[in-house]
Structure formats: C-alpha cells, structure tokens
C-alpha cells in the first residue's frame, strides 16, 4: 500500500528502531551529548532505547531531558496555564503564536509531560532542519515536515498534502497537532494569524463543504507563549533593519544559528497558556458570509485569545513607554528595572552592519508591540501571503 504521507510524516515504529540506531551512531550527536552534559551518556541511551515501544518513550529519553536541561539553564521561571480547557485524550489543533523555532512547541510538550498526557505532533519547515541528523531527530520527535519553496504548482500540491495529513492526524489517528499561526517567527512582536494558514487547513476537502464546519472538526485551540527576554531579539532586529530597503536573504547556517540562540539564550520568565477551543465562537459566524470573510473572522478569533493570554513583563511596559515617550505604564516597573533593561537594549544594539540607534529602535518595537496588541493600540492586518 502506498503511503502518501511518507515524505512528511514522523517515522513509524518500525522505521524509528532503525533511525534511532543511526542517530546514536552519528558522531555529531555524540559530540552534542558530551557538550551539553545532561547527565546521561550515549551508552546509557543506547541501552535504554532497547525498551522503547513508542515515540513517547524516545521523547522522554531525549527531547524531554533536553528541554528540561535548557529550561533550567536559560529561564528564571516557566508558568503553565490552561490545561483545564482541554481534555486528555481528545485531539486538538493548537494554533500558536511563534517566537522561537523549537521552544514554542517544546514548552507545550513539557506541559503535557508534566501531566503524563500524550504529546502532540509538531509542524516544522523543512528549510529549518536540512542536515540528515536534524531531520532524523525531528521525525523521531513526532515532527512532520512543512515543505517550503518550489514552483507555484509544487507549493499548492504540498499545501494540499499538508492539509490532508493534518486532517488525517486529527480525525483518523486522533493525535493533537501544534502549528504556528504564520509562516515563520514573529519578528516585530505583533502576533497575527495568516489567512493563508486557515485556508490551507481546509484544502483537504474536495466536496466544497462550509469552511467553518471543516474548521470545527479540527477543534482549534489558540496557544500563547510569552518570553520576558526574546533570546533572538538581536537577530530579529537586525533582519528587520536590513529589510528596510531590500529583501533580506539569509546566509547558509543562519537558521541553525537562530535555533541554537533560541535554545540557549537567556529568556528570563516564560509563560505558556492553552486557550479555549473555538466552538461557540465558530457557531456564531453567520452562514451566509463569504468564505474569505469567514476565514478572516477565524483569524481574528484566534488572535483575540492569543493577545488576551499574552503575559506582559516589565520589559514590554518599559519599551512601550520609551517608544511612546509616556509614563502610561510606569506603575508596572521600577526605575531600577528600567535602567537595567535600557542597558540590555543598548548592549544588544551594538552590531557591525546596522547603526546602533536603528537597532535600538527595532528592539524597542519588538518588546513594545505586545503591549499595543494586548490593549488594542494597533490595527492588525492579516496579510494574504502564502503560508
């Protein structure tokens, strides 16, 4: 029987046995394990792997250990909220704001680990994991590939295959999925759901059913993650600055650098909030609306929960007040906190290819914009670009 999802899905149980051996035999994996010093040796992992019976067993042995190790090293505190909004063995489509390549979905998995719940599948762009080792680890960790690039026809075919696979995972396999609300991470601090994503989710349907009913079947749950300090803030500000007058072209290895910076860079406090499933809200969308208007409304419903559940820190309020030359939120932080954060921004603003003043301004926007979206101080435009 032909497996139409073989090129994008996680490895099945039979494949995983072989791929695990390949991963554990890879010299780069051994070096990474030695470098991290997580408290387990390669030989211990190999021995432990003989008892693995599922993806979950591998996740507990490797990704869970890694996530906990990184969290303990790079955060001061992680708060988890909202698991009471969902049920343990019911599949949901978690549509999340996207700030970090790995950790946004990683913290949701840690939340599930803490409650001994099944983990979710995770969508990840194939452009982000280009080495065989990274692809193998990703697909062992229940990640499935979102194919980027190609001709217009190839992109449409890939989007349809992705849509079918997401629907198959939720309805047939009854497994939850994490997916970002947009193509790529939020660079400027404004979290918004792309219409292209919501459209893609419905491509599996060939009978022309109502788009709202199709989305209801997926049990969409908005997911919000907030970082006190964005570990990739400098990289994001630089990219924004260099994109002012021409399209920014990433250099080879830049995505991998972002992954490493996101994993190991300091984050301060982190908050993750599972929102409420969009059921009643979807029912209230008028059936006689045009399809595009319905999709736009779904984007707005997702955004509303993401913005509502976004945790603002002193860093956000300080940046907003400096940017707006106001003291509107001065009661939310101390002078010492302001002085320390300004010094932090000044240090981050010093790079070779962008003037310090421009970098400082972009960094302010990254931290201030969540305040604007939380309090409705900015108009969200859901752009129509491809997901």
Residue-wise pLDDT for 209-245, tens only, equals: 999 999 999 999 999 999 999 999 999 999 999 999 8
Amino acid 250: pLDDT: 84
Instruction: Decide if 240 contacts 246 (C-beta within 8 A).
Output: no
pLDDT, one tens digit per residue, over 259-291 is: 999 999 999 999 999 999 999 999 999 999 999
pLDDT, one tens digit per residue, over 148-191 is: 989 999 999 999 999 999 999 999 999 999 999 999 999 999 99
Q: Grade residue 383 by pLDDT with cuts at 50, 70 and 90.
A: low
**What does pTM read for this prediction?**
0.95
**Which one-letter DSSP state was computed for residue 126?**
G
Q: Tokens 């042995």 map to which residue?
A: 61
Q: What is the mean pLDDT of residues 302-314?
A: 98
Instruction: List residues bridging with 227 in a β-sheet.
Output: 270
Rounded distance between C-alpha atoms, residue 50 and residue 76, angstroms? 35
Instruction: Decide if 199 contacts 71 (C-beta within 8 A).
Output: no
Distance from the Cα of residue 283 to its chain's centroid = 27
Report the share of the chain in percent with pLDDT over 90. Answer: 83
Amino acid 377: pLDDT: 87
Return the structure tokens found at 318: 């300080």
Amino acid 167: pLDDT: 97
Provide DSSP, 64-120: HHHHHHHHHHHEEEEEEE-GGGS-TTS--EEEE--SSTTHHHHHHHHHHHHTTPPPP
pLDDT, one tens digit per residue, over 11-27 is: 999 999 999 999 999 99
Distances (CA, A) of 171 to 92, 93, 133, 176, 217: 10, 11, 30, 10, 8
Amino acid 103: pLDDT: 96
Q: What is the mean pLDDT of residues 126-154?
A: 93
More confident residue, 307 or 35: 307
Q: Grade residue 108 by pLDDT with cuts at 50, 70 and 90.
A: very high
Question: Residue 207 pLDDT more than 90?
Answer: no
Rounded distance between C-alpha atoms, residue 88 and residue 112, angstroms? 9
Rounded distance between C-alpha atoms, residue 276 and residue 159, angstroms? 27
Rounded distance between C-alpha atoms, residue 38 and residue 304, angstroms? 39
For residue 360, give the nearest of 324, 322, 330, 334 by alpha carbon: 322
The H-assigned helical ranges of the chain are 13-25, 27-36, 42-49, 55-61, 63-74, 103-114, 132-140, 152-167, 195-201, 211-216, 233-242, 254-264, 280-283, 291-309, 314-324, 335-348, 356-374
Q: Grade residue 384 by pLDDT with cuts at 50, 70 and 90.
A: low
Q: Collapse the DSSP code of 217 into the 3-class scheme (helix H, G, I; strand E, B; otherwise coil) and give the result.
A: coil
Least confident of 124-128, 252-256, 262-266, 329-333: 252-256
Instruction: Decide if 179 contacts 124 (C-beta within 8 A).
Output: no
Question: Residue 55 pLDDT more than 70?
Answer: yes
Amino acid 37: pLDDT: 84
Question: Residue 387 pLDDT more than 70?
Answer: no
Rounded distance between C-alpha atoms, residue 200 and residue 386, angstroms? 9
**Which one-letter DSSP state was computed for residue 177?**
E
Report the share of the chain in percent with pLDDT over 70. Answer: 98
For the chain, the farthest-separated pair of C-alpha atoms sits apart, in whole angstroms, at 66
Return the structure tokens found at 372: 């604007």
Question: Residue 249 pLDDT more than 90?
Answer: no
Question: Residue 385 pLDDT more than 70?
Answer: no
Question: Residue 246 pLDDT more than 90?
Answer: no
Q: What is the mean pLDDT of the chain?
A: 94
Amino acid 39: pLDDT: 82
Amino acid 2: pLDDT: 61
Amino acid 149: pLDDT: 86
Question: Residue 344 pLDDT more than 60?
Answer: yes
Q: Does residue 274 come out as left (phi exceeding 0), alpha (psi in the -120 to 50 range) or beta?
A: beta
């Amino acid at each position: 029987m032909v497996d139409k999802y073989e090129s994008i899905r996680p490895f099945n149980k039979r494949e995983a046995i072989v791929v695990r051996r390949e991963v554990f035999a890879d010299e780069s994996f051994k070096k990474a394990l030695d470098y991290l010093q997580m408290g387990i040796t390669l030989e211990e992992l190999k021995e432990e792997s003989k008892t693995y019976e599922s993806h979950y067993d591998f996740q507990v042995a490797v990704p869970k250990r890694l996530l906990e190790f990184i969290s303990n090293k790079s955060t001061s505190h992680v708060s988890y909220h909202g698991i009471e909004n969902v049920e343990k063995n019911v599949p949901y489509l978690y549509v999340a704001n996207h700030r970090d390549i790995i950790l946004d979905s990683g913290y949701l998995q840690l939340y599930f680990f803490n409650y001994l719940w099944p983990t979710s599948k995770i969508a990840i762009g194939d452009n982000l994991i280009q080495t065989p080792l990274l692809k193998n680890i990703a697909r062992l960790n229940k990640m499935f590939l979102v194919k980027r690039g190609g001709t217009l026809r190839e992109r449409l075919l890939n989007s349809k295959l992705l849509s079918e696979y997401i629907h198959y995972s939720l309805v047939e396999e009854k497994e939850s999925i994490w997916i970002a609300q947009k193509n790529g991470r939020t660079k400027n601090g404004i979290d918004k759901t792309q219409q292209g994503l919501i459209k893609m989710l419905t491509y599996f349907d060939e009978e022309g059913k109502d788009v709202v009913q199709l989305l209801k079947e997926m049990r969409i749950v908005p997911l919000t993650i907030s970082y006190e300090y964005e570990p990739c803030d400098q990289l994001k500000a630089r990219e924004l600055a260099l994109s002012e007058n021409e399209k920014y072209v990433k250099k080879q290895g830049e995505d991998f650098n972002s992954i490493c910076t996101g994993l190991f860079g300091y984050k301060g406090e982190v908050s993750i909030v599972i929102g409420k499933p969009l059921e009643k809200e979807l029912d209230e969308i008028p059936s006689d609306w045009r399809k595009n208007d319905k999709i736009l409304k779904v984007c707005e419903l997702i955004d509303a929960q993401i913005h509502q559940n976004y945790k603002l820190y002193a860093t956000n309020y300080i940046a907003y007040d400096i940017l707006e030359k106001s003291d509107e939120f001065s009661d939310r932080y101390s002078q010492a906190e302001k002085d320390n954060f300004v010094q932090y921004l000044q240090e981050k603003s010093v790079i070779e290819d962008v003037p310090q003043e421009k970098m400082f301004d972009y960094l302010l926007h990254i931290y201030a914009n969540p305040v604007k979206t939380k309090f409705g101080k900015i108009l969200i435009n859901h752009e129509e670009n491809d997901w």
